[in-house]
Amino acid sequence: MLADTTNSKYAKVHALEFGTVKWTGGIWKDAVDTCAKSTVPQLKHMFDDKNISHIVENFKICAGEAEGTHDGTVFGDGDFYKWMEAAVYSAVKDKNTALLNELDAYIELIGRAQQPDGYISTKQIIGERMANGVSRLGDINDFEVYNFGHLFTSACIYFRVTGKDNFLRIAEKAAGYLKRLYAEAEKKGEVKTAVCPSHYMGLIELYRTTGKKQYLQLAEDAVRLRDSVKNGLDDNQDRLPLKKHRKIIGHAVRANYLYAGVADLYAEKGDGEYLEVLHSVWEDLQKHKIYLNGGCGALYNGASPYGNFFVHQLVHQAYGYDYQLPNITAYAETCASIGYVMWAYRMFLIEPKAEYFDAIENAMLNVNMAAVSLDGRKFFYENMMRRTAKLNYELVWPLTRTEYITSYCCPPNLARTMAESAEYAYTVKGNQLWTGLYGDSEAKIKFDNDTVVLIRQQTHYPYDGKIVFDFERLSGNGKIVLNIRIPGWVESGSIKPQTGRTEKIGKKKAETYIGIEIDPDSGRSVTVNLDMPVRLITANQMVEEDTNQAAVMRGPLLYCMESADTGGKELGRIMLGVDTELCPEECSIQRHRLTALSGEAWYLKLREHDEQKLYERLKVNGVKRVRIRMIPYYAWDNRGFGEMKVFLPLRY
């Protein structure tokens, strides 16, 4: 879910209007087209089928148009709203009138299911009607307010891209119920945590969309009241008052949604104490608890690292101890990395630093794209960093992507993120433009000085570091400033305006923006060259599982090794030489063209080896050179089941 900070007092930049940017080629256009043509219809089928998700059926039962009991997940309503956000983006972009009509029909159904007082959560409506013991706000883990939050955001997006207020009216009615709920909770002193607090972002976006200050006040009250929760837990980030947060802890999705919402609140209110919190927890995440690919929340279940010897709190889908980043059991739920993107984006809007868009790019390319198959129909819930041929234990989720996941929050979240990816291409303020995600694109932008410019971006990024910006003035006579993001991995490169000196880029310019003044007469251009040598990346020595190992990156892409590229050799015995030379090589997986890396590595030959033993004496029969190929991590698990590794042992 994007944020519209056009009129936000404490935001320094804001997004362009919907439809301003369109991908014209390359990796992002492929992702958006796959989402529209494959993922959105696939998810629609899942939501419509009462034998799979039962979600649309639940709304029908609430509306009195079907009989039965509630089935499916308690957060299914919210997941359906997320899908609607993806669907309306795709439908408007592709002029899909049939899908738009179907979306209007879904909205009418939701309106009929909504209660007269504005309440809308299908499990509770059905439960109260059947008198089966299920009632409103009986269990925080029923995700009612989470459902509300995604209703708010989806309705705002629907209004912005279609101009219709039918969904917005439902959202405002639900917000009215929420206002009464919080007023009563504060009066009674019985405030409960709202798990996965999507409603902070949702309410603030409702304020931005309608201009009604009551929704901003409600969001502020909701954030303030979380400090009144009794017996709070690290799992929900409510054990400590919010303004005392300095470490990132607990459930990763809940944490990332929370801080994204707080960043939204800061953009409107400018509370410096909240900004200090945001900086502290962000820094803790970057230094201690995030995977190389931007994956968040290493553990399925863990104990809070901030308990004591006698009291340990169970934490689910958790940020664990510092440097606790296992590979085989890496959890890194897809929704957590999407929440991380939303949080990073909001941080950028309030302080446009390259580090935040580096984070967005890393997670989008190396986790989010990896969470869906190349055909757009199968999904990962968790994103492991290593897959072995067999395990003697069972993980929570399958080891390969599946068409349907019981906890169906991630696929629609992923769909809306991919559908909206063009919105991450640029941000703007005054006559200045900041680059975000790079990719073949075209944007018609009106600046505050009444200058309208057509900007075309041509590039093979992320496989090639050459990016050409062409400018064509459509109206006005003002100049603009193009702020070019230099990613943190860059060590050398150049920026060459069509007229003027070439500026060399070195390490000191990495993770910064370089501003170039542009007089956008027709034919003017700027060429950026970011050198992309292959890099071996090592982890902090405190990350025990990655000791004396390295991962491979080139440009913004993380690479991995799969069994399909090793001739059946055990991945655990393949070692990278510290001077290994890996060269770009074009290849194709499921008709998708991509750039692999090929070269030589070392293979450890053992005289004896017993897989059943926990420990045994090492008996080496030498090493030999072997040919290897590595593919982008986002493309793994598309060629059948086999081993996969990101971190590989080093041979010095």
**Concatenated DSSP letters of 21-65:** EEE-SHHHHHHHHHIIIIIHHHHHHHHH-TTTT-HHHHHHHHTTS
d(CA 163, CA 76): 26
pLDDT tens for each residue of 212-247: 999 999 999 999 999 988 888 888 899 899 999 999
pLDDT tens for each residue of 337-354: 999 999 999 999 999 999
Pick the more confident residue, 193 or 533. 533
* Contact predicate 360/436, CB 8 Å: yes
pLDDT recorded at residue 499: 81
Element spanning 599, H or E: strand 592-606
Q: What is the DSSP letter of 3?
A: -
Amino acid, res. 306: Y
pLDDT recorded at residue 311: 62
Exposure letters 146-160 (e unless 16+ CB within 10 A, then b): bbbbbbbbbbbbbbb
CATH class entry, domain 427-530: mainly beta
* Contact predicate 259/281, CB 8 Å: yes
- 539: its two tokens: 């982890």
Q: Is the pLDDT of residue 137 over 90?
A: no
In 379-455, which ranges are continuous DSSP H helix?
410-419
pLDDT-based confidence at residue 521 (cuts at 50, 70, 90): confident
pTM over 0.85, yes/no: yes
Q: What's phi and psi for 588, nearest 5 deg?
A: -135, 135
* Short-list 575, 593, 576, 592, CA closest to 584: 593
pLDDT-based confidence at residue 595 (cuts at 50, 70, 90): very high
* Short-list 409, 445, 406, CA closest to 428: 445
pLDDT tens for each residue of 248-268: 999 999 999 999 999 999 999
Q: What's phi and psi for 153, nearest 5 deg?
A: -65, -40
pLDDT recorded at residue 310: 60
Pick the more confident residue, 439 or 519. 439
Q: What is the mean pLDDT of the chain?
A: 94
pLDDT tens for each residue of 288-330: 999 999 999 999 887 787 766 566 678 888 998 999 999 999 9
Among 129-133, 198-202, 214-218, whose mean pLDDT is lowest? 129-133
pLDDT recorded at residue 387: 95
pLDDT recorded at residue 140: 81
Give the sign of the dihedral formed by CA 560, CA 563, CA 567, CA 573.
positive
pLDDT recorded at residue 498: 82
d(CA 443, CA 44): 30
In 211-251, which ranges are continuous DSSP H helix?
213-225
pLDDT tens for each residue of 375-413: 999 999 999 999 998 888 888 888 899 998 777 899 999
- 459: its two tokens: 């590039």
Please state the domain extents for the chain.
Answer: 427-530, 534-651
Q: What is the mean pLDDT of residues 93-122?
A: 97
pLDDT-based confidence at residue 523 (cuts at 50, 70, 90): confident
User: Per DSSP, what are the bridge partners of residue 519?
Assistant: none
Determine the distance from the C-alpha atom of residue 364 to the mean position of all C-alpha atoms in its chain, rounded to a whole number: 6
